[in-house]
């Protein structure tokens, strides 16, 4: 079985990152499936039609993203309808849903939005809970000459059935295939993929598969790989087809993923648990979470469990740390406030940093970071305060204080520690690393884990 992805959007050919392809490829891999082809295509009807026809010839399942909006360049439904030889109709239920969504926002749907209610006959409508364009799933028959490698799509029957198998009539073979039309915005596409496509695809997976994800922070990728090499080798030796490993590096840390698959569920669970236990013994406190855990969500859980509150004093990160903390739902239970003290004047006025401290040691120093954290703790009356000051670049650095230098302070009513770090990368990367490291240091403080004196990464 071959699965193909076609991503519609001229912007994808002009440098925009295709996050949909990354998401879908990863999810398929987790299901034990794979993408056989990924194509980015412009919002041009002729080019999109040509890619669809090629996909019909070579793949069993075709997934498209994008082009379901109401504007002139949203041509996915119209083009797919013509390539399939199946007409569209206006789905009244979808039309009502679109009008209701606008009404909830105090708006009236424009006439152009009516296009989004055009559904290919026989298609299953896939509800879009976060947008106006529904997805569609179309089962269709593809006609090819017997013993030939290609053919043309017929105006097929789209009334259910899986996309494998087929039947033969005269000199032709009819293969059953499936086309998914999904919206382009990730926040709309991903829920539809999880709720409608994943259950469909699971019928094509063979055997049982158990996936585990371990999230790590504070170690470089090369060190993680070296540390877990014995576990990986032992798990895969002579059994390559039942265990798979992957190590992924990002600004949010290192992710170790492994999958165990086979036909015996008890044996699969036993193997997965053994591998996870061995990895935990090796990586220890550097593991901050599992699955979809983030540093901010883990810190939030720890603060909630301990009934403690947090405030931030940010200079280098400009509010990024606070933004990460409040990305977690329910953060108002433990996050009190934030001071973005970017200038020296604001550090003095709002956080009580002494003028002589700034004069003698500078804004980027251990002493300033400490006074920022203690001042934040005092002003906010929280249980913990985190401060961040540093040089994000690209300018402003020196031999003594290079670009990437950052001081992170963590204060509580009992003590205040400051950690010196030197981060590499562009301005945005340095800010991201600094905010993530601050979260990790706070996590370790809350769990009484070992904290290193500083990091270069």
| Same domain, residue pair 18 and 158 | yes
CATH number reported for the structural domain that contains residue 193 in this entry: 3.40.980.10
For the stretch 132-162, pLDDT in tens is: 999 999 999 987 655 444 334 444 444 444 4
The span from the CA of 411 to the CA of 122, in Å, is 62
- 76 belongs to a structural domain: yes
236: pLDDT strictly greater than 80: no
| Same domain, residue pair 176 and 46 | yes
- 453 belongs to a structural domain: no
136 and 146 in contact (C-beta within 8 Å)? no
| Same domain, residue pair 223 and 278 | yes
| Same domain, residue pair 282 and 310 | no
Query: At which of 228, 256, 290 does a domain end?
Result: 290
pLDDT the model gives residue 142: 85
pLDDT the model gives residue 239: 53
CATH number reported for the structural domain that contains residue 223 in this entry: 3.30.70.2860
| Same domain, residue pair 187 and 64 | yes
**Is 42 exposed, middle or buried, given 0-12, 13-18 or 19+ CB atoms closer than 10 A?**
middle
- 422 belongs to a structural domain: yes
201: pLDDT strictly greater than 80: yes
pLDDT the model gives residue 387: 98
5 and 234 in contact (C-beta within 8 Å)? no
| Same domain, residue pair 285 and 362 | no
- 386 belongs to a structural domain: yes
Distance of CA 397 to the CA centre of its chain: 33
Query: At which of 290, 307, 331 does a domain end?
Result: 290
- 303 belongs to a structural domain: yes
| Same domain, residue pair 195 and 244 | no
Query: At which of 290, 317, 333 does a domain end?
Result: 290
Dihedral sign for Cα 184, 187, 190, 194, please: negative
- The parent domain of residue 347 ranges over 295-447
pLDDT the model gives residue 455: 47
- 32 belongs to a structural domain: yes
- What percent of the chain is predicted at pLDDT more than 70? 91
pLDDT the model gives residue 167: 52
Split at pLDDT 50, 70, 90, the class of 22 is very high
pLDDT the model gives residue 172: 61
Which residues, other chains included, contact 249 with Cβ-Cβ below 8 Å and sequence gap of 6+?
A: 221, 255
| Same domain, residue pair 198 and 223 | no
CATH number reported for the structural domain that contains residue 364 in this entry: 3.90.950.20
Strand order, beta sheet including 384-390 = 335-340, 310-314, 384-390, 405-412, 416-422
212: pLDDT strictly greater than 60: yes
pLDDT the model gives residue 18: 93
Split at pLDDT 50, 70, 90, the class of 51 is very high
pLDDT the model gives residue 208: 83
161 and 139 in contact (C-beta within 8 Å)? yes
pLDDT the model gives residue 149: 40
276: pLDDT strictly greater than 90: yes
- 93 belongs to a structural domain: yes
- The residue among 325 and 400 whose pLDDT is bigger is 325
| CA geometry: angle 124, 5, 252, nearest 5 deg | 110
For the stretch 113-128, pLDDT in tens is: 999 999 999 999 999 9
| Same domain, residue pair 434 and 406 | yes
298: pLDDT strictly greater than 70: yes
Residues 258-285 have a mean pLDDT of 93
The span from the CA of 440 to the CA of 412, in Å, is 16
Q: How far is CA 223 from CA 184, 245, 349, 371, 450, in A?
A: 37, 16, 43, 35, 17
| Same domain, residue pair 183 and 217 | no
For the stretch 87-122, pLDDT in tens is: 999 999 999 999 999 999 999 999 999 999 999 999
How many CB atoms are located within 10 Å of the residue 116 CB? Answer: 24
For the stretch 357-393, pLDDT in tens is: 999 999 999 999 999 999 999 999 999 999 999 999 9
How many CB atoms are located within 10 Å of the residue 294 CB? Answer: 18
For strands 3-8 and 37-41, give the pairing: parallel
pLDDT the model gives residue 171: 53
263: pLDDT strictly greater than 50: yes
Q: What is the pTM of this model?
A: 0.78
Residues 400-428 have a mean pLDDT of 97
- 239 belongs to a structural domain: yes
The span from the CA of 98 to the CA of 69, in Å, is 12
Q: How far is CA 164 from CA 3, 167, 174, 224, 262, in A?
A: 12, 10, 10, 42, 22
pLDDT the model gives residue 224: 97
pLDDT the model gives residue 163: 46
- The residue among 51 and 454 whose pLDDT is bigger is 51
Q: What is the mean pLDDT of the chain?
A: 91
| Same domain, residue pair 23 and 131 | yes
Interaxial angle between packed helices 76-84 and 45-58, expressed in degrees from 0 to 180 and rounded to the nearest 10: 50
pLDDT the model gives residue 402: 97
Q: How many domains does the chain have?
A: 3
| Same domain, residue pair 226 and 97 | no
pLDDT the model gives residue 34: 87
């Amino acid at each position: 079985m071959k699965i193909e992805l076609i991503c519609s959007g001229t912007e994808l050919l002009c440098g925009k990152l295709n996050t949909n392809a990354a998401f879908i490829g990863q999810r398929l891999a987790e299901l034990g499936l794979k993408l056989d082809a990924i194509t980015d295509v412009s919002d041009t009807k002729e080019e999109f039609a040509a890619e669809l026809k090629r996909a019909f010839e070579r793949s069993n399942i075709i997934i498209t993203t994008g082009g379901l909006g109401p504007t002139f360049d949203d041509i996915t439904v119209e083009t797919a309808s013509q390539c399939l030889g199946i007409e569209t109709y206006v789905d009244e239920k979808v039309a009502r849903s679109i009008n209701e969504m606008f009404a909830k926002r105090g708006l009236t749907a424009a006439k152009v939005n009516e296009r989004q209610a055009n559904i290919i006959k026989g298609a299953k409508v896939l509800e879009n809970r976060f947008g106006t364009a529904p997805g569609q799933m179309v089962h269709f028959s593809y006609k090819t000459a017997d013993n030939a490698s290609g053919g043309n799509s017929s105006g097929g029957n789209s009334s259910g059935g899986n996309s494998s198998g087929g039947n033969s009539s005269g000199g032709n073979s009819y293969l059953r295939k499936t086309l998914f039309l999904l919206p382009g915005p990730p926040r709309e596409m991903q829920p539809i993929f999880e709720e409608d496509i994943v259950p469909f695809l699971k019928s094509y997976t063979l055997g049982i598969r158990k996936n585990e994800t371990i999230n790590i922070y504070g170690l470089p990728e090369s060190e993680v790989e070296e540390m877990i090499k014995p576990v990986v080798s032992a798990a895969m030796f002579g059994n390559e087809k039942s265990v798979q490993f992957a190590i992924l590096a990002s600004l949010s840390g290192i992710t170790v993923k492994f999958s165990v698959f086979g036909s015996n569920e008890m044996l699969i669970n036993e193997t997965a648990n053994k591998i996870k236990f061995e990895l935990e013994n090796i990586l220890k406190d550097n593991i901050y979470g599992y699955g979809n855990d983030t540093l901010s969500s883990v810190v939030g859980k720890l603060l909630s469990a301990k009934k403690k509150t947090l405030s931030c004093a940010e200079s280098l990160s400009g509010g990024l740390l606070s933004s990460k903390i409040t990305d977690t739902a329910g953060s108002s239970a433990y996050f009190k406030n934030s001071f973005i003290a970017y200038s020296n004047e604001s550090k003095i006025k709002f956080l009580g940093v002494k003028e002589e401290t700034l004069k003698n040691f500078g804004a980027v120093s251990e002493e300033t970071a400490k006074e920022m954290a203690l001042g934040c703790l005092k002003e906010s009356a929280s249980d913990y305060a985190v401060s961040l000051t540093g040089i994000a670049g690209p300018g402003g650095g020196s031999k003594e204080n290079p670009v990437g230098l950052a001081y992170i302070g963590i204060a509580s009513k009992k003590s205040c520690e400051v950690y010196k770090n030197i981060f590499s990368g562009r301005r945005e990367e340095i800010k991201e690393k600094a905010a993530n490291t601050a979260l990790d240091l706070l996590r370790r403080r809350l769990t009484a884990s070992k904290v290193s004196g500083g990091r270069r990464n």
